[in-house]
Amino acid sequence: MKLNYRAILIFTALLLPLWMLSSCAPHESGNPASSSATTAPAAFQSGDTAINRTMSGFTPKPDKRPGLGTGWGNQVSSNVGYTSFTRASSKPAGVSSIYYNDKEGVDAMAGSWKYSGNGMQKAAGGLIEWGVKGGWGMLKNYHSGSRRYVVGRKGSNYSLLVKNLSHSALEVVLSVDGLDVMNGRPASFKKRGYIIQPGKTLKVKGFRTSESAVAAFKFSSVSGSYSSLRHGKTRNVGVIGMAVFTQRGVDPWKWSRPTVEKRHAASPFAEAPFARAR
């Protein structure tokens, strides 16, 4: 049997490029990259058991939007208890919001006409005062029109401070980037919130993961925000919201400061105006 060397050479010439393409092709990994894995919030609600979930392989997309978002920070100790509270109405007594961004972003949002204000501002008709606290104190506030802004810094943690100025218990439902701080899911007036007793101050450090811990609020990029990584949405990134509910059968304005001051202004010897003789 005679070998056809010419045919062998032609056959080898055809196979060689195919073998080279095959050996150079990338190999797909069976597991997603673990370096970008982040922890998702527990499905925490009053009376429920915290369920820990893990988001593996969620990688921030290239930033298409400038400015800050709120990321999923480290676990922080924060205990919570339970108490009875019946709302006076399904509609809140007041709704307030704070927009946040970096300095450049706030300048762009507020425009050239803006003025600074105190870190704690009143809301809900004076029932509440609230603000955003950074690592060294209250974040700087700006006002423009009817909107309130605070300036944050990427990579730093923050918390929300809410003080009850009334003489009755109040319920506050808080949201960050459109997500309820109790469970990290879309916020709604129907969800339950924190109860604050008269004269007390509530400090919310992050999204609640259990009865004893929260995931710290941490300024991040928009694409690296928890809303983007967990829910794939960034529409409501950049705003903090608060809805205030009063208690059924209790008038929170009953002994407000104006009422007390009016009683203090009462005179024990009120005389009729002196009539000048004609």
Q: What is the pLDDT of residue 272?
A: 66
Q: End-to-end distance of the chain based on CA atoms, in angstroms?
A: 152
Both tokens assigned to 120: 């704690």
The percent of residues in the chain predicted with pLDDT above 90, rounded, is 60
Q: Which residue has the higher pLDDT, 61 or 258?
A: 258
Average pLDDT of every residue of the chain? 80
- Using CA atoms, how far residue 199 sits from 78, 97, 164, 169, 263, in Å, is 20, 22, 5, 9, 21
Q: What is the pLDDT of residue 155?
A: 95
Strand, coil or helix: 251: coil
Residue carrying the six token digits 């820990």:
52
3 state SS for 134-165: CCCCECCEEEECCEEEEECCCCCEEEEEEEEC
Q: What is the pLDDT of residue 36?
A: 26
Measured distance CA(124)–CA(245) in Å, rounded: 9
Query: Quick check: 271 pLDDT over 70?
Result: yes
- Domain ranges for the chain: 70-254
Q: What is the pLDDT of residue 120?
A: 95
Are the C-beta atoms of 113 and 142 separated by less than 8 Å? no
Are the C-beta atoms of 173 and 243 separated by less than 8 Å? yes
Query: Quick check: 56 pLDDT over 90?
Result: no
Task: Tell me the pLDDT tens digit for each residue of 65-84.
Answer: 899 999 999 999 999 888 99
Measured distance CA(64)–CA(58) in Å, rounded: 17
Measured distance CA(3)–CA(33) in Å, rounded: 52
Task: Tell me the pLDDT tens digit for each residue of 113-167.
Answer: 788 888 999 999 999 999 999 988 999 899 998 999 999 999 999 999 999 999 9
Measured distance CA(195)–CA(177) in Å, rounded: 22
Are the C-beta atoms of 151 and 102 separated by less than 8 Å? yes
